Amino acid sequence: MAAQQIITALDVGTKKICALIAEINAEEEIEIIGVGLTPSNGLRKGIVVDIDLAAQSISQAVDKAERMAGIEVGSAFVGIAGSHISSENSHGVVAVTGAEKEVKQSDIDRVMEAAKVIPISQEEEIVHVLPREFIIDGTRGIRHPQGMSGVRLEVETHIVKGSSTSVSNLVKSVRRAGLEVNDIVLDQLASSHAVLSSDERELGVSLIDIGGGTTDLIIFQEGNICYTSVLPVGGNHVSNDIAVGLRTPVSEAEKLKILHGAATTEIIEKEEKIDVLKPSGQDSHKVNRRYLCQVIQPRMAEIFQLVNKELQKNGGRDRTPAGMVITGGASLLPGSCQLAADIIGLPVRRGEPEYVEGFSDIIDNPVYIKKDGKIPRPVFATGVGLLLYARQNKNYSGKPKRKNKEVVNSFFAKLKSLFDDFF
């Protein structure tokens, strides 16, 4: 591998577009050198509904990240979500070729192609064919079959499909923003790289990324992906419920949710009044904080109940003893882990990606209302996960086009001083 490579991740979410530019050195260590965050326009429930608006938002996020990094990037790994995504498990089998009967890369390619032969409608396309395990002459659980001896090679795969139109509109938006697409990656697959431990995956775990418009689920059993799905409900629905329930503008509802909300009323200990703006946007009136949480709780409970149903379909609690990890912006509501654990009946923890410590202090943030003076790390789960996915798959080719020393120096000076302060 070349001494240093550049990779760019693009999390095209319903709430925000997050562009991350990272350097990978010869030791395969990742250093994020550029972050761009902008409000997302042109998306609904994770799907591009207006290419021009989406392209503008993407372009702004990438520009910001490029200015911070001091380089221009030409391509990105792009996350995808939306309820058009569906998945199924599939099996492939081939005979090992060659006189020495040793599995070669060409055999692996052929067996993966064989597994791809599944019924697929004209409106759909395959986004991922993920190997779950290889089987050689009946021996299961093989992760790296290359070089092993055998005559019959089988693979169990997890296949992720998406609507061709939705995939193509996402790709068009990225291209219109001036970037080529290195790869399209399912959001929760990316997030899983950022927040799950290998022990959790081995034991069996589920991960949900609760964003603005969608809740993305991925289940691992015995180290393998066994199920993925996207539910068309997320944090924006909670804000809308608050706007209706407390009769206040949606922007005010969003603020109330973040500053005073909780996923369960159980954690509200004392009587507390909060100011709520009237729909006119002029006067405000006092409302009990407990009432705000009573509006939030049913929607959060609905999300976890929907997830629980999906879990039950896939073997339920017995197959995921490591429990559940929740991430994404809406996972930040206090009490979410407790509510989820009560509904699912398994331990639940919040998942946060590495590498982003301190970023919230330096990036321009027109997206999130800050609660404790910082942008919380779970909102970067998909972005960081895309970088880790790219590193694992080693197919990054996003060479920097131009180095602008002046910008590099000034941003690094700023970055360094802030990090120095932080540590």
Ligand X SMILES: Nc1ncnc2c1ncn2[C@@H]1O[C@H](COP(=O)(O)OP(=O)(O)OP(=O)(O)O)[C@@H](O)[C@H]1O
Task: Please report, as ranges, the residues that interact with ligand X according to CB under 6 A.
Answer: 13-16, 40, 46, 81, 211-214, 234-236, 239, 254, 257-258, 328-330, 332-333, 368, 371, 376, 379
Q: How far is the CB of 362 from ligand X (least distance, A)?
A: 18
Nearer to ligand X, 36 or 235 (CB): 235
Q: Which helix (H) or strand (E) holds 304?
A: helix 289-313
Of 172, 168, 10, the closest CA to residue 78 belongs to 10
Nearer to Mg ion, 43 or 219 (CB): 43
Question: And the tokens for 179?
Answer: 């970037």
By CB under 5 A, which span of 153-161, 209-217, 257-265, 335-343 interacts with Mg ion?
209-217
The C-alpha atoms of residue 88 and residue 114 are separated, in whole angstroms, by 15
Site residues (CB under 5 A) for Mg ion, limited to 93-132: none
Nearer to Mg ion, 191 or 221 (CB): 191
Nearer to ligand X, 47 or 136 (CB): 47
Task: Indicate whether 376 belongs to the interface with Mg ion (CB under 5 A).
Answer: no
Among 42, 211, 234, 383, contact with Mg ion (rule: CB under 5 A)? 211
- Which of Mg ion, ligand X, none is residue 84 near (CB under 5 to 8 Å by kind)? none
Is there a contact between 194 and 354 (Cβ–Cβ < 8 Å)?
yes
How is residue 370 annotated by DSSP? P
Strand-strand pairing, 152-163 and 139-142: unpaired
- Which of Mg ion, ligand X, none is residue 46 near (CB under 5 to 8 Å by kind)? ligand X
By CB under 5 A, which span of 6-14, 103-111, 128-136, 284-292 interacts with Mg ion?
6-14
The C-alpha atoms of residue 367 and residue 259 are separated, in whole angstroms, by 15
Buried b (16+ CB within 10 A) or exposed e, 238-254: bbebbbebbebeeebbb
What single-letter amino acid sits at 42? G
- Which of ligand X, Mg ion, none is residue 379 near (CB under 5 to 8 Å by kind)? ligand X
Residue showing tokens 């909060």: 274
Grouping H, G, I as helix, E, B as strand and the rest as coil, residue 86 is strand
Task: Indicate whether 235 belongs to the interface with Mg ion (CB under 5 A).
Answer: no
Residue 45: Cβ-neighbour burial (10 angstroms; 0-12, 13-18, 19+): buried
- Which of Mg ion, ligand X, none is residue 91 near (CB under 5 to 8 Å by kind)? none
Is there a contact between 275 and 284 (Cβ–Cβ < 8 Å)?
yes
Nearer to ligand X, 108 or 367 (CB): 367
Nearer to ligand X, 5 or 215 (CB): 215
Q: What is the dihedral of CA 312, 313, 318, 322, to 10 degrees?
A: -80
Task: Indicate whether 13 belongs to the interface with Mg ion (CB under 5 A).
Answer: yes
Interface residues toward Mg ion, by CB under 5 A: 13, 211
